[in-house]
Amino acid sequence: MTQTSNASSQIQMLDSGYSREARSLLYQAYRHEPTFRFLFNANRSGYEQRVRATVRELVKQHFLQDLPALGLLVNDRLLGVALIAPPQRRLGITESWAWQLRMLLSTGLSCTRRYLDYHQAVQACVPGDAVHMLPLLGIHPEFQGLHYGEQLLEAVHNWCAEDEHSEGVVLDTGNPHYLEFYKRQGYVEIGEVAVGPVVEHVFFHANPQVSRVDEA
């Protein structure tokens, strides 16, 4: 799918050829996030390497399992990425023993356990099985505040709405600066998860056709 957002930006499906660019972008987007700082122990040396390794393994496993990813490109440069987990395959990555082993070797036992516990707690907030989830979503920090996030999310919502088995999209954040942004995009908070000192907020956005039915 290709969708022109304005004169210089476009949304397109990504394949594994974008893996390196996606990893670099998502590392920059997540390295300062409160949730990741707790999960991967920012106060201990090697934090950035652990975040980089986690993003690498998540992106690698995502493309290895042929899961969908949308990218926002401006003049052929990747500025935004949304990894999407469809309803039927939401748990595939973290249930992979190969992924867990690579995480243990690259981030250590305690960080891997923290990440898995966090993932399971977020899953417990999800309203049933018929939703897409966004395990990683980011706009490059240098280009935030330019409405690329809105463009990427709109494309995600429209893409997920094409799945007749999906009722909407779920994402989560522990960054208080993003709460009002997601609410403005039509997200409704459906749960909170304590991730150490961080409060992780879980949001749901109904698919466009579901919203239209509710309004009819």
DSSP helix/strand/coil, 95: coil
Q: How far apart are CA 36 and CA 132, in angstroms?
A: 22
Enclosing H/E stretch for 14: none
CATH entry, 2-215, from 3.40.630.30, 3.55.50.30, 3.40.50.720, 1.20.1260.120: 3.40.630.30
Residue 173, both tokens:
């954040």
Which burial class, exposed, middle or buried, applies to 9 when counting CB atoms under 10 A from its CB (0-12, 13-18, 19+)? buried
Residue 191 has pLDDT above 80, yes or no: yes
Whether residue 197 has pLDDT greater than 70 = yes
pLDDT of residue 91: 53
| Mode of pairing for the β-strands spanning 132-139 and 9-13 | unpaired
Angle between helices 148-161 and 208-215 (to 10 degrees): 80
> Which pLDDT score, from 0 to 100, does residue 127 have?
84
pLDDT exceeds 80 at position 11: yes
Domain ranges of the chain: 2-215
Q: Which pTM value belongs to this model?
A: 0.89
The first and second tokens of residue 207, run together, are 């698919």
Q: What is the pLDDT of residues 76-89, one digit of tens each?
A: 999 999 999 998 65
What mean pLDDT comes out for the span 31-46? 97
Cα separation, 120 vs 109, in Å, equals 16
Q: Where is pLDDT greater, at 8 or 116? A: 116
Q: What does the pLDDT look like over 104-126, one tens digit per residue?
A: 999 999 999 999 999 999 999 99
